[in-house]
Amino acid sequence: MTVKTFSIPLNTKGNADIAEITHDVAQVIGKSGIQDGIVTIFTPSSTSTLTTIEYEAGCLSDLRRLLDQIAPAGKDYAHHARWGDDNGHSHVRAALLKPFLTVPFVKGSMTLGTWQQIIFIDFDTRPRRRELVVQVMGE
């Protein structure tokens, strides 16, 4: 059993920009040389998240619309009063969805479904440079 930590750099456009990172995560697992275990993908940020979805334009647009309904941009947030920021909705969305995703893998392959891809969502209101933590643990 061993643990190895990698990172995946990403340039995002913000405003619920979605990046598909399934292949990047699969590559990291390959690089680790670990065959069976879990991969933890973590965003060291309070305005972004990770989840899985069928990576298809309709689903992505439906998810963005759902998040706009749950926590709309452009509304009055108490966080704005603090820093003059405009990203209160980004913070509450990220807190609700949490900053990580765990996926088991077996014989070097993640146990994802055929129509299930890993996505990173950046809720911040401007382009950001992100550095995801990808930790592989197993044997």
d(CA 53, CA 113): 10
d(CA 46, CA 56): 26
Name the β-bridge partners of 100: 42
Nearest CA to 126 among 47, 35, 39, 21?
A: 47
Choose the binding region for its own copies from 8-16, 19-27, 41-49 (rule: CB under 8 A).
41-49
d(CA 98, CA 50): 8
Contact positions with its own copies (CB under 8 A) in 60-119: 61-63, 65-66, 70-71, 77-82, 88, 91-92, 94-104, 106, 111-113, 115-116
CB of 53 to its own copies, least distance (A): 4
Contact positions with its own copies (CB under 8 A) in 117-136: 133, 135
15 or 80: CB nearest its own copies: 80
15 or 55: CB nearest its own copies: 55
Contact by Cβ (8 Å): 138, 35: yes
Pull the structure tokens for residue 93.
């969305």
**Three-class DSSP category at 77:** coil
By CB under 8 A, the count of residues binding its own copies is 59
- Contacting positions for its own copies (CB under 8 A): 1-3, 5, 36-38, 40, 42-46, 51-54, 56-59, 61-63, 65-66, 70-71, 77-82, 88, 91-92, 94-104, 106, 111-113, 115-116, 133, 135, 137-139
